[in-house]
Every structure is written in C-alpha cells, then in structure tokens.
Amino acid sequence: MKNTVTIAGRELISYFGSPVAYVVAAAFLAINGFLYGVIISGSKQADMSFVFSDMGIVLLFVIPGITMRLLAEEQRMGTIELLLTAPVRDWEVIVGKFAAAMALFLLMLVPTGLYVLFLMLWGHPDSSTILTGYVGIILVGAVFVSIGLLTSAITQNQLVAFLIAFVVSLILWLIDGLSANFTGTGGSVLSYLALQQHLSDFESGSVQSQDLVYLLSVTICALFLATRLLETRRYR
C-alpha cells in the first residue's frame, strides 16, 4: 500500500510539474462550461442529465491525454527498467498510476459543482439524480482511465497510446448503435457493452447492479491486463 501511495504521489507531482494537467483541466472545464450554458439556456430546466452525457463525450478526448504518458513515457525514457528492479510489485505500479490519473480527474470534476450551485439558485433540481449522475460519470471516467493505462502499457509512443485509448473508448461509447442491426442475444450483448447506455441509467437516477458490475468489471479487467503486460517486461 505504501508503494502504491508513493507512486501515485510521484505521478501527481509530475502532472502538476508540467503543463499537461493545467491544459487538460482548462480544456475540460471550458468545453463543459460552454455546453452547460448552451443546454441550460436552451432547455430552461434545472436538469443535469444532458450535461453528464456531454461530459462523457468530452472525457473521450480528455482522459487519453491524461493517461497516454503514464507507462509509455517510462518505456521511452528507459526509467521503466529502474521501476521494475525496485522493490515494488507490478500491481502496485499499475494501481498507483491509476490512482494518480483518477485523482486528477476527480480534481477536474470539483469545479463542476458550480453547475449544481447555479441550478439551485435558478430552480429546484433533483439532488438524488445529480448525485447518481456524478457517480456514473466517475465510474465511466474510471473505465476510460483504465483503458488509457492499458494502452500506455502497450507502446512507448504517447501519441499511439492516445489514439488507441480514444478508439477503444469510442467504440465502447457508440457500440449501442450497432445493437439495432442485430436481434436476439447478439443485440443484447452489444447493448450491454455500450458505456453510454450504462451512464444513461445513472443520469435518470437509477443505480442498477448490472451497471455497477459492468463498469467495475471493465475497469478491473483493463488494470489486470496492464499488470500482466508490465510483468512480461520484467521477464524479458
């Protein structure tokens, strides 16, 4: 646990020691702020469901930018070898880097609390729906972070890691559209794999066990695969 915290702390310091965290956070807040203003002024309703949907789309671009350097940069610079020879387990490296990226993501979400404040000043929003919406977007963000970390373990090129993470996340986001072309089990499976559908349930105030199981399973699976990839480097 100590090693995990140390690695996470080192990664956070690295984030804020470079322009990456500030640029990504500024882009995330600027785009979401603009979309929030457009949606609320257009709908005239104290409702954040569409805000969370748009936030998920923005995260498709933002989170790969956060995760692309986590392991790719270590491999490119050769520091991954030093890390692997240190008295630290592979899963501690992966979990530590995942925790750092998630911490940065959660910090970016904090200012969006102003959206809720404005809604409370202008109307009477459903607080339980807003709460489940935030839970949903955090879990979807965890999926994106884990996928980004996995792709960063695959290559030492940050741009390649970004593109692969974006494409995989985009497929999971849009795959529900393919389910309409299939009937029976195939259509049901594709619909279940769609991230957007699971987020929609949270946006509506519904927390279903199948949504939690899916989002947590994808996250854990991606982290497991990233750990296995790291292990293969140790024995090369």
Residue 165 is part of which domain span?
2-234
Write out pLDDT tens, residues 194-222.
Answer: 788 878 878 777 778 888 998 999 999 99
Burial tier of 145 (Cβ tally within 10 Å: 0-12, 13-18, 19+)? buried
Rounded Cα–Cα distance for residues 104 and 95 (Å): 14
At residue 44, does pLDDT exceed 80?
no
Write out pLDDT tens, residues 101-129.
Answer: 999 999 999 998 888 887 777 767 777 78
Work out how many domains the chain is built from and give that number.
1
- In eight-state DSSP terms, residue 70 is T
Burial tier of 212 (Cβ tally within 10 Å: 0-12, 13-18, 19+)? middle
Write out pLDDT tens, residues 132-177.
Answer: 889 999 999 999 999 999 999 888 888 999 999 999 999 888 886 6
Give me the numbers of helices (H) and strands (E) for the chain, helices first please: 13, 0
